[in-house]
């Protein structure tokens, strides 16, 4: 019977390759083991030098942590800023037909009339325009905007992160507000960060200690020029502007001053634009 020399040769060749591979892995492991003491020595050496320097410095070096560099920051922590509170926002959810929807005077006119509701009170587009005016302002881009809060007509208070991008179209904005009021928060895509979230009342719990609360309404008797008004405020005072309702005057007990910034009725977005423009001039923001 003829012996299968070709098959035997393949087996011997595979066996030789296996031995060569094991020897190569063994040599690489030896080289790694020889390199590790050298690395440890190079790591231990500078740490000893640092410890010697710290002993020489004594008590003067107690404010520095070994291995954590102290990076100087140009940001001034004593800068004052501005906070906007959108009170009495027209954001109400109701079940229309078989689904829940954010009520507005255009799409739900018949539903509102059947329930004896005033159509003028259901304007969620006012909140959308106000948020766009605030977040797109140079004051926000320059980092002087501290916070934005919205409280609905029903008393639901939620916070808006300053880097969130509010939808430009009303349809998308309505969908996000509907989700927020039902799930109590909106998270970023692929992240756990909450861009909008419902928080506990009252809103005054989130104001800085040294803040001046200002309500703006066309019905106010105090008509001011916004640029001169903000100049009279001290540099260490944080301004809190409250408004953006559909109509009428704010009825809150935490307002320090009520002002009107025009002799004509203006939209909430226009009022906010005047305020942010005056603040940008005051803080030299271009």
pLDDT in tens for each of the 286 residues of the chain?
455 544 444 444 455 555 555 555 555 444 444 444 444 444 444 444 444 444 444 444 333 333 333 333 334 445 789 999 999 898 999 999 889 999 998 889 999 999 998 888 899 999 999 999 999 999 999 999 999 999 998 999 999 999 999 999 999 999 999 999 999 999 887 778 899 999 999 999 999 988 999 988 777 788 999 999 999 888 788 999 997 665 656 777 888 988 888 888 888 899 999 999 999 999 999 8
Which helix (H) or strand (E) segment is 47 a member of? helix 5-57
Output the pLDDT for position 21. Answer: 53
Residues near 112 by beta carbon (within 8 Å), at least 6 away in sequence = 103, 105, 118, 119, 122
Dihedral angle over CA of 207, 178, 166, 131, nearest 10: -50
Do residues 191 and 224 touch, judged by C-beta distance below 8 A?
no
Structure tokens at 247: 């109509």
C-alpha distance across the termini of the chain, in Å: 97
Regarding pTM above 0.75, the answer is no
Structure tokens at 33: 């083991």
Q: How many CB atoms lie within 10 A of CB 132?
A: 17
Using DSSP, state whether 203 is helix, strand or coil: helix
**Cα–chain-centroid distance for residue 93?**
24
Output the pLDDT for position 221. Answer: 83
Q: What is the CATH number of domain 82-90+124-166+188-283?
A: 3.40.1280.10
Residues near 154 by beta carbon (within 8 Å), at least 6 away in sequence = 92
Side-chain half-sphere of 241: how many Cα atoms within 13 Å?
Answer: 29
* Beta bridge mates, 257: 214
Using DSSP, state whether 266 is helix, strand or coil: coil
Residue pLDDT, tens place only, 165-214: 999 999 999 999 999 999 999 988 777 889 999 999 999 999 998 899 99
- Over the range 145-167, which residues count as b (16 or more CB within 10 Å of their CB) and which as e? bbbbbbbbeeebbbbbeeebebe
CA distances from 269 to 11, 60, 264 (A): 83, 54, 14
Do residues 219 and 259 touch, judged by C-beta distance below 8 A?
no
Residue pLDDT, tens place only, 238-270: 999 997 665 656 777 888 988 888 888 888 899
Do residues 239 and 214 touch, judged by C-beta distance below 8 A?
yes
Which helix (H) or strand (E) segment is 42 a member of? helix 5-57
Per-domain boundaries in the chain: 82-90+124-166+188-283
């Amino acid at each position: 019977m003829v012996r299968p020399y070709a098959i035997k040769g393949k087996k011997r060749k595979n066996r030789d390759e296996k031995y060569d591979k094991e020897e190569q892995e063994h040599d690489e492991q030896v080289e790694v083991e020889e390199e590790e003491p050298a690395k440890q020595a190079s790591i231990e050496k500078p740490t000893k030098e640092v410890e010697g320097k710290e002993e020489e410095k004594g008590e003067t070096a107690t404010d520095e942590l070994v291995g954590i560099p102290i990076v100087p920051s140009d940001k001034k922590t004593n800068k004052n800023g501005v906070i906007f509170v959108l009170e009495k926002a027209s954001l109400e959810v109701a079940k229309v037909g078989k689904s829940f929807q954010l009520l507005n005077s255009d799409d739900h006119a018949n539903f509102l009339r059947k329930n004896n509701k005033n159509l003028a009170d259901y304007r969620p587009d006012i909140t959308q325009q106000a948020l766009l005016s605030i977040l797109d302002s140079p004051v926000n881009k320059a980092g002087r905007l501290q916070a934005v809060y919205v409280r609905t007509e029903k008393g639901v208070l939620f916070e808006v992160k300053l880097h969130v991008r509010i939808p430009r179209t009303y349809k998308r904005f309505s969908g996000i507000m509907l989700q927020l009021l039902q799930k109590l928060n909106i998270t970023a895509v692929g992240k756990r960060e909450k861009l909008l979230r419902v928080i506990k009342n009252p809103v005054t719990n989130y104001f800085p200690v040294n803040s001046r609360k200002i309500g703006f309404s066309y019905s106010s008797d105090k008509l001011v020029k916004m640029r001169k008004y903000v100049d009279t405020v001290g540099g260490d005072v944080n301004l809190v502007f409250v408004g953006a309702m559909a109509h009428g005057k704010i009825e809150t007990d935490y307002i320090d001053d009520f002002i009107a910034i025009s002799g004509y009725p203006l939209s909430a977005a226009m009022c906010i634009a005047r305020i942010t423009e005056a603040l940008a001039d005051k803080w030299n923001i271009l």
